[in-house]
Copies of this chain bind each other. A is one copy, B any other.
Amino acid sequence: MADALVETLGKALGRDVPTETAATALLHEDRLFPVDPSVRAITRRLYNQIKDLPLVSPHGHTDPAWYARNEPFPDPAQLFVVPDHYVFRMLYSQGVPLEKLGVPHANGTAVETDGRTIWRLFAEHYHLFRGTPTRMWLDHAFSDLFGLQERLSPSNADAAYDRIAECLTQDAYRPRALFERFNLEVIATTESALDDLAHHRAIQSSDWNGRVISAYRPDAVIDPQFEGFHDNLKMFGRLTGEDTLTWDGYLQAHRKRRAFFKEVGTTSSDHGHPTARTADLSDTDKRALFNRVTQSAATSEDAELFRAQMLTEMAIMSLDDGLVMQIHAGSHRNHNGPLFQQFGRDKGADIPAPTNFVDGLKPLLSKVGNEPDLKIIVFTLDETTYARELAPLAGHYPCLYLGPAWWFYDAPDGMKRYRDLVTETAGFYNTVGFNDDTRAFPSIPARHDVARRIDCGFLAERVADHRLDEDEANEIAHDLAYGLAKKAYKL
**Alpha-carbon gap, A6 to B12, bound state (A):** 7
CB-based contact A388/B397 at 8 Å? no
Q: A18-B42, A36-B36, A336-B397 are in contact. Are A133 and B384 (CB under 8 A)?
A: no
In the complex, chain B residues whose CB is within 8 Å of the CB of A426: 93
**Residues in B neighbouring A147, C-beta threshold 8 A:** none
At the interface, yes or no: A348 with Cβ under 8 Å from chain B? yes
Chain B hits for A350, CB < 8 A: 392
Residues on B with C-beta less than 8 A from A383 are 384, 387-388
Considering the chains assembled together, what is the distance between the CA atoms of A458 and B387 in angstroms? 21
Q: Which of A6-58 contact B (CB under 8 A)?
A: 6, 9-10, 12-18, 20, 22, 24, 28, 30-39, 41-42, 45
Say which one of A63-71, A222-230, A285-293, A366-374 lies at the interface with B. Answer: A366-374
Given A18-B38, A338-B366, 9 more pairs with CB closer than 8 A: A13-B15, A89-B396, A93-B426, A94-B398, A151-B469, A336-B370, A351-B396, A383-B388, A417-B420
Contacts of A348 in B (CB 8 A): 395-396
A315 interfacial contact with B, CB 8 Å: no
**Interface hits, A250-270 → B, CB 8 Å:** none
Measured between C-beta atoms, what is the minimum distance from A148 to chain B in Å? 15
**The residue from B2, B35, B351, B425 contacting A132, defined by CB atoms under 8 A apart:** B425
A157 at interface by CB-CB < 8 Å: no
B398 touches A466 (CB 8 A): no
A311 in the interface (beta carbon within 8 A): no
Asked if A354 CB lies within 8 Å of chain B CBs, one says: yes
Kindly identify, within residues 137 to 156 of chain A, every residue whose CB is under 8 Å from any CB belonging to chain B: 151
For the complex, is A339 an interface residue (Cβ under 8 Å from B)? yes
Stretch binding the partner chain, chosen from A184-192, A298-306, A404-412: A404-412
A373-397 interface mask toward B, CB cutoff 8 Å, 1 = contact, 0 = none? 0000000011110011101111111
**B428 and A93 contact, CB distance less than 8 A:** no
A residues adjacent to B (C-beta < 8 A): 2, 5-6, 9-10, 12-18, 20, 22, 24, 28, 30-39, 41-42, 45, 89-90, 92-95, 127-133, 135-136, 151, 332, 335-339, 348-354, 356, 358-359, 362, 365-366, 369-370, 372, 381-384, 387-389, 391-398, 400, 408-409, 411-414, 417, 420-421, 423-430, 461-472, 475-476
Contacts of A351 in B (CB 8 A): 358, 389, 392-393, 396
Question: A457 to nearest B CB, angstroms?
Answer: 9
